[in-house]
A and B are shown apart, each in its own frame.
Chain A
């Protein structure tokens, strides 16, 4: 339970002043409503956010989205911008799963048209998309792509070498699926070994692939721009950079930890290990992180390709051809962006970029309505498609939330929910469930998460992003 004094700034914003602890450089601010804040105060989230506020070069405030929960180093749902060139970059501020993110595909049919083929489709996707990460599972990954080129160019390498994806999919991906400045040479042999066989695999934990139906439209114009309509079937893919990204983070947390005293940096938590952006360690990390981010975009592209094959198998080649990608967004990444006239390194750890209408970094199709951001809820509840709003540029470095946010630990939820019973309950709601383990299923039960509806209402009222459509799960493949 947090003992930090937090004061309300306005209806959706709360603040711990920089005077609260002597090592804070800026205030810590949380977007929340009273009920969400009460849940946030139950774990170490706010202490972790205050720790972030001590980072050298951090500007304005350490920010948290309403789905904030306790993580390691940074809280999940944290945003921190540091000023280049002297400010720091922190690998823990991105997380082990570099460019963990979400891709949404829209199928050319409604739930009613899908009908009883729903189960066959989930089964076929389950057969084609490997889930786990370890042991023999790692050798089931997509092979053939040249890893070096994937690290350099992301999904474009898969498109040009293997015909996976399309120009349009690359176009409708954040940063076109490629962060500039990738340095494959800074990705260690061990990271390459872990990642080489994992391209096109989902991973574990909270990663998933969900078949959904659009069951609410809030902004018809934006929904039309995104190619979404009431009743339509969609496919949400949540995965990241797999073992390759995990190892890049591990390597650089260690390397920067060893260099802290040389840079004269003192930290309240070793996991905040960091280095100045213009230092050799900082520049190397940014290059390796960009390579891992490119790998993650390629991973989601490969998973989408396999899902499209499943769609062709079950629904026919026309359905596969007419399935379109809405967008693909990262929610664990650090990017160099201009905000408020300054060149900043924006760390988003469990937070999504949400640029508003008119932003030049958006694809032309979406420039009139704002960037799509996908906010998964949990297996049994809604997910949302949002669109970025101007308030995000004013208040949160162009950022919104990334999910519902965990409320209960894995142990606590297993005490409340039994995997087989949860499966029966979800299937009773008409949701087809495929999961490698009952334990893993129970750990991701809806009870483990906050109310995603409440989370997105807060970011909407705060002016960061607006709800465009609501999605309800009809099939779940859990990692």
Chain B
């Protein structure tokens, strides 16, 4: 599950999930909520990013989705597959092409976290809006 944490100027996404893969899926769902567009039919995008550690990988994942939204109007709707390795994530994302609101400027490293917890994993990422 994900939730939005109050932040004076930006948007903070807090995630808890049973597995690491689900953290990435929840992050996608959170971004999809922000960028929500109406439309018919689904497009698919293959996304592959790498980073030296899990928190940076989560930031890179969201950053790639923000870039797809800004550069081609691709808004994620669902995660069809996701493979996680030590320093990379590869996924197929279904989404719609539209004119999403330009809400998210960037994915920051501020208080960036991705760590084990009693229920599995928890993560925090602050988006610059």
Residues of A within 8 A of B (CB): 43, 45, 69-73, 76, 92, 95-97, 132-138, 190, 193-194, 203-205, 243, 246-247, 249-250, 253-254, 257-258, 269-271, 273, 406-412, 436-437, 440
Contact = CB atoms under 8 A, between A and B. Distances in A.
29 contacts: A72-B109, A72-B128, A73-B109, A92-B108, A92-B109, A92-B110, A95-B128, A133-B70, A134-B101, A134-B102, A135-B73, A135-B100, A137-B99, A138-B71, A203-B102, A205-B129, A243-B70, A250-B106, A253-B108, A254-B56, A254-B60, A270-B112, A271-B108, A271-B109, A406-B8, A409-B8, A411-B6, A436-B101, A437-B101
A249 B106 contact: yes
A271 B106 CA distance: 12
Contact of B108 (A45, A73, A97): A73
| Across the A-B interface, the 8 shortest Cβ-Cβ residue pairs | A135-B73, A133-B102, A72-B110, A271-B110, A270-B109, A135-B99, A70-B8, A134-B102
B80 interface: no
Contacts of B55: 270
Nearest to A271: B110
A133 B72 CA distance: 11
Prevailing SS type, chain B contact patch: loop
A243 B66 CA distance: 11
Nearest to B60: A254
Contacts of B97: 135
A71 B70 contact: no
Given A96-B128, A134-B100, A250-B63, A408 B111 contact: no
A94 to B, nearest CB: 12
Contacts of B99: 132, 134-137
Interface residues of B, number: 38
A45 B8 CA distance: 9
B129 A43 contact: no
A258 B52 contact: yes
Interface in B5-33: 6-11
Interface in B81-97: 97
Given A135-B69, A270-B110, A406-B8, 18 more contacts: A69-B9, A72-B10, A72-B111, A92-B108, A92-B109, A95-B128, A132-B101, A133-B102, A135-B100, A190-B67, A194-B67, A205-B103, A254-B60, A257-B109, A258-B52, A269-B109, A271-B109, A440-B101
A437 to B, nearest CB: 6
Nearest to A245: B105
B70 to A, nearest CB: 5
> Which among A95, A134, A205 has the highest number of chain B CB atoms within 10 Å?
A134
Contacts of A243: 70, 105
> Which among B6, B9, B70, B111 has the highest number of chain A CB atoms within 10 Å?
B9
A404 B62 CA distance: 31
A70 B99 CA distance: 30
Contacts of A269: 109-111
A273 B70 contact: no
Nearest to B103: A204
Interface in B49-75: 51-52, 55-56, 60, 63, 67, 69-73
A410 B67 contact: no
B107 interface: yes
B126 interface: yes
> Which among B6, B97, B107, B108 has the highest number of chain A CB atoms within 10 Å?
B108
